[in-house]
């Protein structure tokens, strides 16, 4: 019996140690070496003009305080006297400076652009990544701030990767009337699903029990479990128009996750599968097509609401 107890103790200690390590890798603030980010500005890039504009455009720096007393920071780029604004969320391990392609596109479509640094990213405070669940409330607070500080009457909520999942989660919360539509590129279905998938893809490890242990540690240290961060549950409660974009060759967030979100969404909704595109690369694969599809969706969604 003593030997069994020793073995169990070793197993538990090992699992807690492994869970703590993966908390540091996946949740704690810091560089994420396994995530590829946009490289230096190149004239060969299909979105060079958009990124160049974003890099050099005059930006206003906005700050808000989150519900849990974190200072959050965003850039606001006005577009003349436009009364349309997009709130644009970056992906996992990203920051607002990397969103030039999407910011430039929305600016070309006539929108003011607000690009926040998510909590635990960029200039914003915070020590824990929320996988969209914590960020959903921040995104909605930014939308309210846009209405308070500008003449905006129509808001589009948009994001990529984790930012997209966070926007889907935000869509299931009570909405201010100015929010008219959601456009999300490469969203995942839940924190538990994507972390389980990536544990296998990146580390060749089974999800159980490691993901569950890490989730329990996350509850203690960050205040949420992976199961709570459920975009499928949230999208079922959304009644704003939503467009979901997925790449057929996405090996970071499986295309099946985008399809599942679409199946669970209420009308009006649209799913655009971009053949050959990887994770959030649809915009660089064919910028004009990407812009056209988004513009066509928003022309109806924003005008009709």
pTM of the model: 0.92
Question: What percentage of the chain has pLDDT greater than the value 90?
Answer: 79
Q: What is the predicted pLDDT for the residue at 31?
A: 74
What is the per-residue pLDDT across 200-211, written as a single tens digit (0 to 9) for each?
877 767 777 889
- Phi and psi at 242, nearest 5°, equal -140, 135
What is the per-residue pLDDT across 252-298, written as a single tens digit (0 to 9) for each?
999 999 999 999 999 999 999 999 999 999 999 999 999 999 999 99
pLDDT tier, 21 (very low <50, low <70, confident <90, very high otherwise): confident
Q: What is the predicted pLDDT for the residue at 8?
A: 47
Q: Does domain 46-190+229-303 have CATH number 3.40.50.1820?
A: yes
Of 148-152, 212-216, 258-262, least confident by mean pLDDT is: 212-216
Q: Residue 2 pLDDT > 70, yes or no? A: no
Are 95 and 32 in contact by the 8 Å Cβ rule? The answer is no
Q: Residue 212 pLDDT > 60, yes or no? A: yes
Are 133 and 228 in contact by the 8 Å Cβ rule? The answer is yes
Of 21-35, 164-178, 258-272, least confident by mean pLDDT is: 21-35
Question: Beta strand 112-116 with 84-89: parallel, antiparallel or unpaired?
Answer: parallel
Q: Is 38 exposed, middle or buried (0-12, 13-18, 19+ CB in 10 A)?
A: middle
Q: Which sequence spans correspond to the domains of the chain?
A: 1-29+206-227, 46-190+229-303
């Amino acid at each position: 019996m003593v030997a069994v107890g020793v073995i169990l103790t070793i197993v538990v200690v090992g699992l807690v140690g492994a869970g703590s390590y993966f908390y540091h890798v996946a949740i704690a603030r810091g560089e994420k070496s396994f995530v590829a980010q946009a490289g230096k500005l190149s004239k060969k890039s299909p979105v060079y003009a958009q990124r160049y504009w974003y890099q050099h455009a005059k930006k206003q720096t906005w700050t808000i305080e989150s519900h849990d007393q974190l200072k959050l920071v965003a850039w606001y780029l006005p577009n003349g006297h436009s009364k349309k604004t997009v709130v644009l969320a970056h992906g996992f391990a990203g920051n607002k400076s990397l969103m030039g392609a999407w910011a430039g596109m929305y600016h070309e479509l006539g929108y003011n652009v607000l690009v926040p640094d998510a909590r635990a990213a960029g200039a914003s405070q915070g020590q824990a990544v929320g996988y969209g669940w914590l960020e959903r409330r921040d995104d909605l607070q930014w939308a309210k701030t846009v209405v308070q500080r500008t003449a905006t009457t129509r808001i589009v909520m948009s994001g990529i990767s984790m930012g997209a999942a966070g926007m889907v989660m935000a869509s299931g919360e009570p909405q201010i009337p100015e929010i008219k539509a959601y456009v999300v590129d490469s969203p995942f279905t839940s924190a538990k699903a994507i972390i389980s998938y990536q544990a296998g893809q990146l580390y060749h490890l089974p999800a159980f029990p490691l993901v569950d242990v890490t989730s329990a540690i996350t509850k203690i240290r960050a205040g949420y479990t992976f199961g709570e961060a459920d975009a499928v549950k949230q999208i079922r409660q959304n009644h704003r128009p939503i467009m979901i974009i997925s790449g057929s060759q996405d090996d970071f967030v499986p295309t099946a996750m985008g399809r599942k979100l679409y199946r669970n969404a209420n009308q009006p909704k649209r799913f655009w599968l971009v053949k050959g595109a990887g994770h959030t690369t649809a915009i660089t694969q064919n910028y004009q097509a990407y812009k056209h599809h988004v513009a066509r969706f928003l022309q109806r969604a924003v005008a009709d609401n």
